[in-house]
Structure 1
Amino acid sequence: MSGPATGAPRGETAPARARPSVLATHAVLACLGGFFFLGSFSYPWTTVEDGTVGPGALPRVAGLALLLIGLAMLRREARTGTVLEGDGHVEEETERTDAEHRTVRRKLAVVSAALVATAVLIPFLGMLPTLAALTLFLTISVERLRWPVALTASLGVLVVCYLLFGVLLRVPLPLGVFDPALWGAV
């Protein structure tokens, strides 16, 4: 009997070959990194007032890292390819039932819709409450965790994001309706 999508007998490793879908994925990652890297030059590397790290540092470093990693992965895939079995390649599994496939597709649709809703809600509710709500929604509806566990995870995301971005990195986060300037004008 042949292994899935390889033609190699079960137990044998299929020969490595470059896959167009993997090449395209790595190229998109490299381009995305390049866009962030180039876009970061519209922001200063340091702040003028005190010489600390400015708003251009994070997108410049992250964009350059993504660009270089994407190019390295693209080069590796083009030169040596990857083994089809066991490298994370999605293969058709005959053991799954149609109901399991429907469940996976439903979860993917729910997560995609939740991410779009999160992007829409951030300007209104602010970053931290929206991320906490997203975590709560996904842990309950997709992961089917109990309420106490889901609430703990949601609160954990809220606290970690606040400490990381608000306190440690001092990144100004969108506050939405919780912005004191909004309520001061009312």
Structure 2
Amino acid sequence: MSGPAPGAPGGEAAPTRARPSVLATHAVLAGIGGLFFLGSFSYPWTTVEDGTVGPGALPRVAGLALLLIGLAMLHRELRAGTVLEGDGHVEEESERTDGERRAVHRKLIVVSAALVVTATLIPFLGMLPTLAALTLFLTIGVERLRWPVALGASLGVLVVCYLLFVVLLRVPLPLGVFDPALWGAV
């Protein structure tokens, strides 16, 4: 079950073992999936009026998928460990320079703050414009992409989310200031 670890001296096989942080992460993902799956049963699978997909379908399918994927990853970690190249194994702090550590911490703080601001803006601007703005901010401010690429990604997120949630699934999303009922009352 063990293979050579990247950078192992002399090409010797390094023993793999389950890492507690990875186990905890997979367990949390499986738990969240299970909660969404169980919570979805309080909503109908289809709508009574026309038999279309109801509000319980998306959280039930996504929750079940997340639960199964989390359990499979948990099983894999318990069975074989994950000291594999490219698996997201955290490097030792001594392997990073001070500048790299500061950059990683800065990105983490910026992304976390951006998610809080996004959640705050959804009731005011609506879901789709806020997600597009978040994408634009993250692609320019965090990933440092060029403006044309960032605008394309932001527009792509807007179009895909609109087609998926509004057109295909007919999910009522918060519209914020773009709600016609708001402007009809004025």
Deviation at 1:75, TM superposition (A): 2.1
Aligned CA distance change for structure 1 residues 50 and 74 (closer, same or farther; 3 Å): same
Q: Could you give the per-residue CA deviations for residues 44-73 of structure 1, whole angstroms, max 9, x where no partner exists?
A: 011111112211011111111211221222
Q: Letter of the 2:51 partner, please give it.
A: G
Q: Within the alignment, does 1:166 sit opposite 2:142 as a pair?
A: no
Aligned ranges 1:32-181 → 2 under 5 Å: 32-83=32-83, 86-92=86-92, 94=94, 96-181=96-181
Distance in 1 of aligned mates of 2:75 and 2:84: 17
Distance in 1 of aligned mates of 2:49 and 2:40: 19
Aligned CA distance change for structure 1 residues 128 and 172 (closer, same or farther; 3 Å): same
Structure 1 segments of 4 or more deviating over 4 A?
Answer: 5-8
* Gaps in structure 1 of 5+ consecutive residues: none
Distance in 2 of aligned mates of 1:152 and 1:41: 38
Distance in 2 of aligned mates of 1:97 and 1:12: 28
Q: Is the 8 A contact 1:37 1:61 kept in 2?
A: yes
Deviation at 1:86, TM superposition (A): 4.4
* Gaps in structure 2 of 5+ consecutive residues: none
Q: Letter of the 1:139 partner, please give it.
A: T
Q: How much is the aligned-residue C-alpha RMSD, in angstroms?
A: 2.3
Distance in 1 of aligned mates of 2:150 and 2:137: 8
Aligned CA distance change for structure 1 residues 7 and 154 (closer, same or farther; 3 Å): closer
Distance in 1 of aligned mates of 2:32 and 2:120: 22
